[in-house]
Structure 1
Amino acid sequence: MSALSLNNVDISYGDTKVVFGAGLAVAEGESFALVGESGSGKSTILRAIAGLAPDWTGDIAVLGKPRGKKLDKDFARICQMVFQDPYGSIHPRKTIDATLSEPLAIHGVGNRSERVEAMLVAVGLDRRFRFRFPHQLSGGQRQRVAIARALMLEPKILLLDEPTSALDVSVQAEILNLLKRLRAEQNLTFLLVTHNLPVVSFLCDRLAVMRRGQIVEIAGVDKLKAGTLTHPYARELYAASGGHTEGH
């Protein structure tokens, strides 16, 4: 069974259609990337899956179950999203403890204190961070908190929208290593949006290349590493990255 599948999905913002006939299937436990330049529609696909861009047609299924268009609690237990900007995605006036406890409270999950402490450790943060506020944390530490919050309900799938692009280069590698470790430890499925091909090489098994709202190629990451993508635009992206797909 696929963890995520899209079939002939069109997505619009108002009168403007931004994704055309998207189709893909992500296996359970797989790490799959959507790549392309800004405006290609890749983040819009994540938002539609998450229920944040409800104006779509076609079929979206999560763990074999058709996805409705509303935010719903059952969905939140299996699929969570990590946003690009850790400065904007965490409430500035709530402690880290309050931020991490909130999903547990909403879903009536017990043992909150123990769960919060365990998750801080899992994302590499000392327990002394628990009662700090976001402004007392660095960008990398905030993104660790955002990842911890996404994992509090023990979801199977993480939607990752450019999770390192707002961070300093020195910190990006730390967060990517963390994501790789968490995926292995928790058997997570990733759908990652990025424009950074070395990130795809490091973290992903397959990728879909998007251009102007359409998926133009789906390939294994081995083809990316070998520079043997076939679509002209995909080859252009590869050339623009300087042929450097290793890294981190």
Structure 2
Amino acid sequence: MSAALDIRSLSVRYGRTDVVRDVSIRVARGESYALVGESGSGKSTILRAVVGMVPDWRGEIEVDGAPRSALGQGAFAQHCQMVFQDPYASLHPRRTVDATLSEPLRIHGIGNRDAQVIEMMRSVGLDPRYRFRFPHQLSGGQRQRVAIARALMLDPKLLLLDEPTSALDVSVQAEILNLLVRLRAERGLTYVLVTHALPVVSFLCDRLGVLHKGQLVEETGVAALHDGAFRAPYARELYQASLGAGDRVRDAG
């Protein structure tokens, strides 16, 4: 059975700098997988390579069994979408919620747009009365709900989540994490999450890969976050640095 995402020997270079070096990751359908590491470790670059935002990469990327190079942007968008860290930056400031959510349907020639927009807003916990508001008229949590709704409009099964809660207040982070857990269960979604916050991984994910200076130094199950059973020295350092940070996320459960 093909994986939701299969990355083999991926390397990414910015100019003369190797940002990602020979990384291989296989994420099963329905799984929630985290890429963790400090800033500059290459984790967001991997997601950007998958969605086509990085031109200079080598290796193989398959989405739902199809080579990334064989999927045009239209076909790829129906398989995979990305949710970015800062919802205010990722939403067009002059487009209403309705325009933002309708756009993917319009581009792909999908009808019944009004009903689908309202249904999706309700699905992510947004009151339809916010439909014609602009991003600046929404809170940070509401904006991220719009960003998640936009990513789901074409019913993809793979979501790439780039630090989806780090720009939000702590109380709102818990709400968005709970939303992501519910949506995954309801829609059979696969997640690939990028974060530096191990408590978020413990709450949301099944497995994690630890990146250090562009290399994957360890893969393990989330049980390692409870007992600290990491093999790689850097992974153990990351775990030790995270101790005590879990209180912010634990209340999400």
Q: TM-score range by the shorter chain?
A: over 0.9
The C-alpha deviation readout for 1:118-167, integer Å capped at 9, x for no partner, is 00000000010101111110000000000000000000100000000000
SS where residue 111 of structure 2 aligns? coil
TM score, norm. by length of structure 2:
0.95
CA distance in 2 between counterparts of 1:137 and 1:237 reads 35
Offset at 1:63? 0.7
Offset at 1:55? 1.1
Task: Write out aligned runs for 1:51-90 (5 A).
Answer: 51-68=52-69, 72-90=73-91
Offset at 1:197? 0.4
Query: Which amino acid in 2 is paired with 1:42?
Result: K
Query: Which amino acid in 1 is paired with 2:90?
Result: S
Count of residue pairs brought into register by the alignment: 248
The C-alpha deviation readout for 1:18-67, integer Å capped at 9, x for no partner, is 00000010000000000000000000000000111121111111111111
Task: Write out aligned runs for 1:181-192 (5 A).
Answer: 181-192=182-193
Q: Which residue does the alignment assign to 1:212?
A: 213
TM score, norm. by length of structure 1:
0.97
Q: Which residue does the alignment assign to 2:8?
A: 7
SS where residue 145 of structure 1 aligns? helix
SS where residue 7 of structure 1 aligns? strand
CA distance in 2 between counterparts of 1:241 and 1:215 reads 19
Question: Contact 1:50 / 1:71 at 8 angstroms: preserved in 2?
Answer: no
Query: Which amino acid in 2 is paired with 1:212?
Result: K
Q: Which residue does the alignment assign to 1:33?
A: 34
Moved over 6 A (4+): none
1:114 paired with 2:87, answer: no
Q: Which residue does the alignment assign to 2:125?
A: 124
Query: Which amino acid in 2 is paired with 1:187?
Result: G
CA distance in 2 between counterparts of 1:177 and 1:21 reads 34
The C-alpha deviation readout for 1:95-128, integer Å capped at 9, x for no partner, is 1000000000011111100100000000000010
CA distance in 2 between counterparts of 1:91 and 1:244 reads 33
CA distance in 2 between counterparts of 1:70 and 1:53 reads 16
The C-alpha deviation readout for 1:202-233, integer Å capped at 9, x for no partner, is 00000000000000000000112221111110
> Any gaps of 5 or more consecutive residues in structure 1?
none
SS where residue 230 of structure 2 aligns? coil
Offset at 1:69? 8.6
Question: Contact 1:18 / 1:41 at 8 angstroms: preserved in 2?
Answer: yes
Offset at 1:14? 2.4
Identity of aligned residues (%): 66
* Cα 1:70–1:186 shift into 2, 3 Å: closer
Offset at 1:15? 2.4
Question: Contact 1:80 / 1:157 at 8 angstroms: preserved in 2?
Answer: yes
CA distance in 2 between counterparts of 1:212 and 1:70 reads 30
Query: Which amino acid in 1 is paired with 2:157?
Result: K
Q: Which residue does the alignment assign to 1:229?
A: 230
Task: Write out aligned runs for 1:151-230 (5 A).
Answer: 151-230=152-231
Could you say what the CA RMSD is over the residues aligned between the two structures, in angstroms?
Answer: 1.3
CA distance in 2 between counterparts of 1:71 and 1:64 reads 14
Offset at 1:201? 0.2
* Cα 1:122–1:193 shift into 2, 3 Å: same
Question: Contact 1:4 / 1:61 at 8 angstroms: preserved in 2?
Answer: yes
Query: Which amino acid in 2 is paired with 1:78?
Result: H
